[in-house]
Amino acid sequence: MKPEGKRLVWNEYQKEIANDNYFYVRSCVRQNFFPGAEKTFLRYMKDMGRNVFENPSHTTCSGIGYHSDIVPFETAMTMVARQFALMSEAGYENFVTSCITSFGLYSEVLETWEHFPAVEEKIRGHLRNATGREFVKPKNLAHASDVTFKLRKDISKAGKYRLINHITGNSIRVVEHIGCHYSRMFPNKGVGGAEYPYVLIGMIDEWGGEVIDYPERRHCCGFGFRQYLVKANRGYSVSSSKKKFDSMKPYKPELILTNCPGCPMFLDRWQYAISEMEGTTYGENGQGIPVMTYEELAGLILGYDPWDLGLQVHQVPVEPLLEKMGIPYDPAKKFLDINGNSMGKPKPPSAMKFY
């Protein structure tokens, strides 16, 4: 075998990720359901000595509206152009997005402009007319999981914990789930492409875990935009997640790790819903399989307090994983407010073990 040839093939799956000075835009889903994940990303970026800038004037990219088809493409492109203008005005050229739907939309827009330069000119005109703004396209476009992937070795070096069962010494068995819009449309925009994305595997490998392969590994979580947003359509959404859970269960995963804001929410909440609907749980001893964002996992590796990461707002309890990794936590503080006062407790589910 000629190693040069192999290197050439894998070059297609490499991605250039900027090393510092990022303009950060947030995710609508993440902010609503896992706000601690974004806070944690900014915290470890600071700890790793990186500069990340956020302009409070940035807004939704309108991606969920675009993919539920109420927002026209030209509107979505101009919303994207406005975010780029805010980046240019702030003097940045490395654009990092927290959201996978956004990342897919930014990629789609840049690719469209590449193929149809007249469309880019038209959108520049729209942005000028509507806001008076001009923009420079980003020099580097990355998802926050790309940046975390780039820093995985630094996080490991600074880390206090590993994805290893501290009693048995075995690696924690992890299922990785990549958001569809990370690289399905444009495989060259993601680390490892669409069929063998490496962005989460790289983190799991580096942090000591064991990656589990299973038949429905690349199946969608079932968001499907309008298929979740409208109550009548949610059978589509839960069926997709159930297909994945049924497929992964025989491989006994101890953690599901995701890079998309929507996926952890669906894989977390649908486990609860399925347990209520039919009494099925997918973890050990009546527990669910904990689901985490890569930011939350990086935070655990670095030794941040689990409740500062926001792990208390997961419907599937994360305690089994914390105990395996030997991470201390105070159950009494789980549902306290910032001043240490009680906010009451959520009701326990009827089928899934709750802490």
Partner 1 sequence: MGALYDKLRQDIRFVEGLTACLNCGTCTAICPAAEFYNYQPRKLVDILQTRDDEKILELLKGDTIWYCGECMSCVTRCPRNNAPGLLITALRSLSQELGYFVESEKGRQQLAIKRTVGHWILEYGYCLYPSQITPENHPEQGPIWEWEFQNLEKVMERLGANYQKAGPGVLRAIPQEDLDEIKKIFDETGGTARFEKIESFSRQKAEEMGIQLDDGLQNDYIKHIYTAVNKDHTTEP
Site for partner 1 in 273-332 (CB under 8 A): 273, 307-308, 310, 313-315
Nearer to partner 1, 141 or 163 (CB): 141
Cα separation, 142 vs 160, whole angstroms: 27
Nearer to partner 1, 53 or 161 (CB): 53
Cα separation, 320 vs 3, whole angstroms: 43
One DSSP character per residue, 252-286 reads --SEEEESSSHHHHHHHHHHHHHHHHH----SSTT
Query: Which of the ranges 5-13, 56-64, 137-145, 249-257 carries the binding residues for partner 1, by CB under 8 A?
Result: 56-64
Q: Helix, strand or coil for residue 337?
A: coil
Cα separation, 355 vs 349, whole angstroms: 10
| Residues numbered 10-49 forming contacts with partner 1, rule: CB under 8 A | 26, 28-29, 31-32, 35-36, 38-39
Check: CB of residue 288 under 8 Å from CB of residue 260.
Answer: no
Please identify which residue in 10, 19, 130, 188 interacts with partner 1, judged by CB under 8 A: 130
Does the footprint of partner 1 cover residue 51 (CB under 8 A)? no
Residue 245: what residue type? F
Choose among 332, 205, 221, 229: nearest CA to 268.
221
Q: Report the nearest approach of partner 1 to the CB of residue 51 (Å).
A: 14
Cα separation, 343 vs 328, whole angstroms: 22
- DSSP at 133: -
Query: Which of the ranges 66-74, 145-153, 199-207, 293-301 carries the binding residues for partner 1, by CB under 8 A?
Result: 66-74
- DSSP at 212: P
| Residues numbered 138-177 forming contacts with partner 1, rule: CB under 8 A | none
| Residues numbered 246-275 forming contacts with partner 1, rule: CB under 8 A | 269-270, 272-273
Structure token pair of residue 10: 């894998």
Please identify which residue in 131, 157, 196, 215 interacts with partner 1, judged by CB under 8 A: 131
Please identify which residue in 5, 115, 169, 285 interacts with partner 1, judged by CB under 8 A: 115
Nearer to partner 1, 92 or 207 (CB): 92
Query: Which of the ranges 3-11, 145-153, 163-171, 335-343 carries the binding residues for partner 1, by CB under 8 A?
Result: 335-343
Neighbours of 282 (CB within 10 A): 22
Does the footprint of partner 1 cover residue 104 (CB under 8 A)? yes
Q: Which residues contact 294 (CB under 8 A, 6 or more apart)?
A: 145, 148, 200, 203, 257, 258, 259
| Residues numbered 189-208 forming contacts with partner 1, rule: CB under 8 A | 194-195
Check: CB of residue 303 under 8 Å from CB of residue 266.
Answer: no
Q: Report the nearest approach of partner 1 to the CB of residue 98 (Å).
A: 10
Nearer to partner 1, 235 or 328 (CB): 235
Please identify which residue in 89, 90, 126, 156 interacts with partner 1, judged by CB under 8 A: 126
Structure token pair of residue 37: 């994940």
Nearer to partner 1, 197 or 209 (CB): 197
Nearer to partner 1, 138 or 224 (CB): 224
Torsion sign across C-alpha atoms 86, 43, 60, 193: positive
Cα separation, 177 vs 212, whole angstroms: 11
Nearer to partner 1, 194 or 201 (CB): 194
Does the footprint of partner 1 cover residue 351 (CB under 8 A)? no
Q: Report the nearest approach of partner 1 to the CB of residue 172 (Å).
A: 23
Please identify which residue in 192, 222, 283, 320 interacts with partner 1, judged by CB under 8 A: 222
Q: How many CA atoms lie within 13 A of 147 on its CB side?
A: 29
Nearer to partner 1, 39 or 249 (CB): 39
Check: CB of residue 169 under 8 Å from CB of residue 249.
Answer: no
